[in-house]
Amino acid sequence: MSISRHEHKAVGLLSGGLDSALACCVLKDQGIEVHAVYIAMPWGCGNETRAKRIAEDLAIPLKVIPLGDDYLPILTDPKFGFGSAHNPCVDCHIYMVKKAAEHMREIHGAFVFTGEVVGQRPMSQRRECLGWVERESGLEGRILRPLSASFLDPTIPENEGVVDRTRLPSINGRSRKAQYALAEKYGLKHFAQPGGGCLLTEKHFGERLGDVLGRGVSTIAETAVLGLGRYFRLSEDAFVILGRDQKENEGIIARALAEDWIIRPFSFPGPVALLRARDVSQEMLAKAAGLCQYFSKSREQAPRPVKAWRGSSVDQVQDVLPDLAGASGFLVSPGESSNSQKES
């Protein structure tokens, strides 16, 4: 199928970072009708606030796509394997490109584009990896990487003159000097700074995620809270997430599932705890409450009652007396280290 010369419409993955924003700019500069999608991962790459601001600045439509449960197999058994942590980067890119392709078909677009730069990331942005993404997504010839086009084979939109290949940048490698120069040219200001962003690439987060996945997870929603706080396993089927500051406390409450227990101190300043287990006992609640008090300035005091309720039952609150002695046995757990034992 050839591209109609009237179908100058494309869908790009917009992460909120510099590269994906520049990809939008250089294609829009050629008269392409640019649409963008943002894949909202609870712990993954990207910055939704930045993506929305960039889309607004560039006056391009943005569709936010929540991560679906169809992503779970990628977290447990990715075809192209993991990186140095629990990061299935190649499989993740395939997934995101497929979602962008679905939107492309919805709006009758002609091709998909990304901000990938050849050689920038060792696992996912080598030439062979980019080829795997193209093949596995079923978009042979229809994925354009405008920032590195000269280092790759021409795509269908380039061959058919929809995109002028000679006007695209020629960027490769890890340096971002060329990107910053382009950002100045296009007046881009609201992008997230390069580096980091995906918790899957972090060793400690990978350990806690692997620990939970290994015991059975059926929905992405069950993993959302894992990107926050300290993590403690109380038993084979019970763990606690403990906030480290007010923002994390609020995030933990917001990500609680209906069956989770929230433990919160009101008689002293301290962290919020989320307890998740198949069968929650009073002993578990007391140990989770003990963690709340241990990681507070009331650590050396006698146990002080805290409030506990299930995520879906805020009108049914009970008092729990912290078990400080019991909590002390869980101060080093998967995804944590002994030097994390600081007061909140």
Which superfamily does CATH assign the domain made up of 9-186 to?
Answer: HUPs (3.40.50.620)
The fraction of the chain above a pLDDT of 70, given in percent, is 92
Instruction: Indicate the pLDDT class of residue 331, thresholds 50, 70 and 90.
Output: low
**pLDDT score of 55 more than 70:** yes
Distances in Å between the alpha carbon of 98 and those of 94, 128, 140, 311?
A: 6, 18, 12, 34
Q: Is the pLDDT of residue 196 over 90?
A: no
Check whether 344 has a pLDDT greater than 90: no
Pick from 17-26, 58-67, 115-124, 165-174: least confident: 115-124
What pLDDT is attached to residue 168? 97
* Residue 196, Ramachandran bin (φ over 0: left; ψ between -120 and 50: alpha; else beta): left
Q: What is the mean pLDDT of the chain?
A: 90
Question: 3-state DSSP helix/strand/coil percent for the chain, to nearest 5?
Answer: 40, 15, 45
Compute the radius of gyration of the chain from its Cα atoms.
Answer: 23
**φ/ψ (deg, to 5) at 274:** -115, 125
Amino acid, res. 99? K
* Contact of 62 with 51, CB cutoff 8 Å: yes
Which band of pLDDT confidence, cut at 50, 70 and 90, is reported for residue 102? very high
Q: Which of 84-98, 165-179, 182-196 has the lowest mean pLDDT?
A: 182-196
Tokens at 166, concatenated: 């000679």
CA 227/CA 43 separation, integer angstroms:
5
3-state secondary structure 222-249: HHHHHHCCEEEEEECCEEEEECCCHHHH
Mean pLDDT of all residues in 194-206: 83
Measured CA to CA, the distance from residue 74 to residue 340 in angstroms comes to 30
Going from N- to C-terminal start, the domains of the chain cover: 9-186, 228-340
Rounded alpha-carbon distances, angstroms, from residue 146 to 35, 137, 262: 15, 18, 47
**Which whole number is the average pLDDT over 103-127?**
87
pLDDT for residue 125? 73
Nearest CA to 343 among 230, 222, 195, 259?
230
Q: Is the pLDDT of residue 340 over 60?
A: no
What is the reported pTM? 0.88
The one-letter amino acid code at 192 reads A
Quote the CA–CA distance of 11 and 63 in Å, as a whole number. 10
- Decide if pLDDT at 158 tops 50: yes
